[in-house]
Amino acid sequence: MKGIQYIINDNGEKTAVVIDLKQWGNLWERFSNFLSDNSFPNEEWLQQLDVAEKLAQALEWNANNPPQVSDLDILENQLNSYD
């Protein structure tokens, strides 16, 4: 899925995710606000059409794309080059 990258450990397990905030920032902000409220209302927000579609896309992408190993040193150098 475009704009989503997983960090995989030596066992091939996903341990973290990096998201493109330009592409997913609105959804991330809504999710982050939901978590920071410390109130967990019902899960109706998951049924909203835009959220449900994006979750379905993410699940489909995840099912069709094997885990990838990222070299953290290369990623760190790339991030440092943006400073």
Give residue-wise pLDDT tens across range 43-74.
Answer: 777 777 788 888 888 888 888 887 777 788 88
Backbone torsions φ then ψ of 17, nearest 5 degrees: -140, 145
Domain positions in the chain? 4-81
pLDDT at 40: 58
Return the C-alpha torsion angle 67, 32, 54, 59, nearest 10.
Answer: 30
Cβ neighbours of residue 24 under 8 Å, at least 6 residues apart? Answer: 3, 4
Type of residue found at 30: R
Q: Is residue 41 pLDDT above 80, yes or no?
A: no
Put simply, whether the predicted model's pTM sits higher than 0.75 gets the answer no
pLDDT at 72: 82
pLDDT at 38: 64
Cβ neighbours of residue 58 under 8 Å, at least 6 residues apart? Answer: 1, 4
The pLDDT mean for the chain works out to 83
Cβ pair 46, 27 in contact under 8 A: no
Which pair of tokens denotes residue 24?
């997913």
